[in-house]
Amino acid sequence: MPSGAVRQAIRCVSSSLHSTTLRAQTTMAAAMPDPLPVRQKTPLVTEVGKEPPGPAMKTNVPGRESLRLKAELDKIQNTDAVHFFVDYANSRGNYVVDVDGNIMLDVFTQIASLPLGYNHPKLIAKMSNPDNMVTFINRPALGSFPPADLVDKIRGTLMTVAPPGLQHVQTMACGSCSIEHGQKAMFMAYMRRERGGKPPTAEDLETSISGQAPGCPKLSIMSFNGAFHGRGMGALACSHAKWFHKLDFPVPDWPMAPFPKLRYPLEDFVRENEQEEQFCLEQVEDLFETYRQKGAPVVGIMCEPVQAEGGDNHASPAFFQGLQDIAAKNNGYLLLDEVQTGCGVSGKFWAHEHFNLREAPDVVTFAKKMLTGGFYYKQEQKATEAYRIYNTWMGDPSKIMMLEEVLNVVHQNDLVNNAADVGQFLLQGLLDLQKLYPGTMKNARGLGTLVAVDFPTTAFRNSVVITLRNKGVNAGTCGEAAMRLRPSLIFTKSHASVFLTYLEATLKDLIPGRKV
């Protein structure tokens, strides 16, 4: 049985949790956090309560109240994706509380979108400050009527964490529209270059309205098998993870390259993984030529630093360096989709900073933990006409205001380095469990807290996630048989130990008679 700091920490937490959880389950009212002060007539902006001492379950999940609400909602819309209904007022930090009173450690955090967990005191204070009320009430059409403080707010937030080498940023509302406007930025830059910097002709303008060439040229963007970039049609065209994302939807004939399928542990398969990545890079090179011959030249490559929805698939820095070189060789651009990997979770603020690229990517998209969507870009990708990169809201100043506080907390508490440290602890704990259950767990992998592990089948993976949730830990899934973890930036080694303790208990339940 493995020993060391991780196992020792887990044992200590397990012992503490055993007594704590028993007390919490028998006296649930004491364990439940106090309601948020915003329910009171006079809000108390600093007293928001502490995290629960640990998971405490009243029912299986979903419980009776979640099922009742789901049935009601199903009369209005499809609810097949609903896991459970949340009591957001009583959720705290890394713990989510459902409407049946179950307290769960949340290592999925609203599909990787909560930077500071639930109801962080600093964000409550920001929301409760009367001076900020105007920003929350009056949502402007930013492209035409921006507020006076927008420049200072963007410089004080998004530009302070801009990827090295990128001096421009455009806010958007969500990940999918960030991707699609990033695609448009690449298309426009490509065609400006093709026209030699000259303005479009009258024919270009006229034919564009009817969607015909030359105004709407036949161009393409290369993406990867296993990718997921969003559900808007442009983002969907570059997504190749699961059938339910794309079934029945017409998409353009754009190239899909193979993404490396690395073998683990990495140190045991160095040569094989190098060969796999080289094969994939050769396919990328070939697809540039194939689509050039088809009359639909590739204007750029779009890729996630870690393929999330597709299975938490990783590749080496050398692979991404190769992508950048191939794109440049073929007069194309490189867009890196950091919607799920940005905001410090990888142990660097942007995951692509691990890759030691020779220069910045041309476009970097963001959303989720950044609270606002948007994309960074180079001067070449900057729009040269009005309304080309545009929609009504183009983001939301209130989200930038909240991001300002998030970044303050991140910097003051060194949360990027915390993600690196806790992520290593978490990964080592999974590797230890993997040794205990070699036929059950495999391919534990991670970058910061972007951590995942595979199980033998989809059905068994689902059983693990459901059993784990019923014990008091809410985790996520991805790919065919992977469980992924997407905790908040305030996730600590103590929280990681809770997760590992409950995961081991889950495996013992699902593999009866297993001696460890």
Catalytic residue among 228, 320, 366, 455: 228
Domain annotation for the chain: domains and CATH numbers? 21-77+92-138 (no CATH), 140-411 (3.40.640.10)
Backbone angles phi and psi of 310, in degrees to 5: -75, -5
Catalytic residue among 368, 378, 399, 493: 368
Q: Please give the span between the terminal C-alpha atoms of the chain, in angstroms, as a whole number.
A: 7
Catalytic residue among 392, 414, 435, 457: 392
pLDDT at position 417 over 60: yes
* Catalytic annotation present for 75: no
DSSP 90: G
Catalytic residue among 87, 98, 337, 454: 337
What is the average pLDDT score of the chain? 92
State pTM to two decimals. Answer: 0.91
* Catalytic annotation present for 365: no
* Catalytic annotation present for 392: yes
Among residues 95, 10, 92, 106, the alpha carbon closest in space to that of 49 is found at 92
Rounded CA gap, 270 and 263, in Å? Answer: 9
Q: Which residue has the tokens 């070939």?
A: 286
Residue 216: CB atoms within 10 A of its CB come to 14
Phi-psi region of 345 (alpha: psi -120 to 50; beta: other; left: phi over 0): alpha
pLDDT by residue (tens digit) across 21-52? 434 333 333 333 333 333 333 232 233 458 99
pLDDT by residue (tens digit) across 228-239? 999 999 999 999
pLDDT at position 512 over 80: no
366, 170 Cβ separation under 8 angstroms: no
Q: Which two tokens stand for residue 183?
A: 């695609």
pLDDT by residue (tens digit) across 207-262? 999 999 999 999 999 999 999 999 999 999 999 999 999 999 999 999 999 999 99
